Amino acid sequence: MSAKTTPRTVKQKKPKASPAAVRAASAISMAAKNLVNMVGVLSVSGAVLLGLLATEHF
């Protein structure tokens, strides 16, 4: 009995992104996260300050 072998298909390698592109994408992602965090902190601190002013006023 002879063993049947199936022909192997050649997998194409995906081109890797350049290190500069990866670094730029990472920097943009980090800057966006920082911006979202800053907006969150600003809105919370603003709400606290407005609450304190309202309690002093009334």
Distance CA 21, CA 27 (A): 10
Condensed to tens digits (0 to 9), the pLDDT of residues 3-23 reads 677 777 777 777 677 888 889
**Domain segments of the chain: what residues?**
19-58
CA-to-CA separations, 19 to 7, 16, 24, 28, 36, in angstroms, rounded? 36, 9, 9, 14, 26
pLDDT band at 51 (very low <50, low <70, confident <90, very high): very high
- Residue with token string 């969150």: 40
Q: Which residue has the tokens 């290190």?
A: 19
Greater pLDDT, 43 or 15: 43
pLDDT band for 47, please (50, 70, 90 cuts).
very high
Q: Is 42 left (phi over 0), alpha (psi -120 to 50) or beta?
A: alpha
CA distance linking residue 55 with residue 47, whole number of Å: 12
- Average the pLDDT over 29-43 and give the result: 98
pTM beyond 0.95 = no
